[in-house]
């Protein structure tokens, strides 16, 4: 998809603040610093629409981005950020859980995992949570540019094994640096969005 229009609609904390539309949504989940905001920017070909930072914990709210007036990307705050109090963590959990389990517009969750490391306990918990609620998952292994090509397969197998990966889900090796996986990500996202035929004309 070639994106011409993309804008942040709202940074929401509470359910009451979610946009009151019924257009489909794709949410992004993953540990802090894994590259969620970078993924959005790469797909939209924008430098910094979704704010990125080398400092973890940059995204603190559910950020709804309206794309081509046809769907929302929802950037979800990262988990696993050490410098967060117990109370804040509980608040975060409630916010994510409410969104993931109650938002009927949600079509799929992109679960981002750093390709270099074994999935963390929280990565596994997130995947299990999504499977439990029957939410389609697209696993995106980020920062592929940081490991040599010859090791990609080994890392993919290691991640799938730790997650107990369901073969019906998609797995995409991705890099915001090299744009690897960008077209594959779009085609999977478009399939989940099931946009009306009019919008399919925007395809690259
Ligand atoms: N080499 C490389 N660096 C990346 C890639 N994706 C993200 N980064 C870097 O990783 C850091 C974190 O990226 P963000 O996109 O802000 O991560 P995030 O998941 O949105 O983080 P939070 O908002 O804190 O949850 C930034 O310094 C990015 O430049 C990638 O594919 N390759
Ligand atoms: Mg972010």
Give residues whose Cβ lies within 5 Å of ion ligand 2.
Answer: 36-37, 58-59
pLDDT for res 201: 47
Percent of the chain whose pLDDT exceeds 90: 73
Neighbours of 49 (CB within 10 A): 19
The pLDDT tens digits for 48-104 are 887 776 666 666 789 999 999 999 999 988 887 766 778 888 888 899 999 999 999
Stated pTM of the model: 0.91
DSSP letter at 56?
S
Nearest ligand to the CA atom of 29: 1
CA contacts within 13 A on the Cβ side of 99: 29
For domain 6-193, the CATH superfamily is P-loop containing nucleotide triphosphate hydrolases (3.40.50.300)
CA of 3 to the centre of ligand 2 (A): 20
Ligand 1 atom 3: the closest Cα is on which residue? 143
DSSP letter at 35?
S
């Amino acid at each position: 998809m070639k994106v011409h229009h993309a804008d942040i609609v709202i940074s929401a904390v509470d359910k009451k603040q979610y946009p009151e539309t019924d257009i489909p949504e794709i949410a992004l989940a993953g540990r802090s610093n894994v590259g969620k905001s970078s993924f959005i920017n790469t797909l939209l070909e924008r430098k910094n629409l979704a704010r990125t930072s080398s400092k973890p914990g940059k995204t603190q709210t559910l950020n709804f981005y309206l794309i081509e007036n046809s769907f929302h990307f929802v950037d979800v705050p990262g988990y696993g950020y050490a410098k967060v109090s117990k109370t804040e963590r509980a608040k975060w959990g409630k916010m994510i859980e409410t969104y993931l389990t109650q938002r009927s517009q949600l079509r799929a969750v992109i679960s981002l995992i750093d390709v270099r490391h074994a999935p963390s306990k929280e990565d596994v918990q997130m995947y299990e949570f999504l499977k439990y609620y029957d939410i389609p998952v697209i696993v995106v292994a980020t920062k592929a540019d940081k490991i040599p090509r010859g090791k990609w397969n080994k890392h993919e197998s290691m991640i799938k094994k730790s997650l107990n990966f369901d073969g019906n889900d998609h797995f995409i090796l991705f890099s915001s640096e090299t744009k690897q996986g960008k077209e594959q990500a779009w085609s999977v996202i478009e399939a989940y969005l099931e946009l009306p035929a009019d919008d399919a004309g925007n395809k690259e």
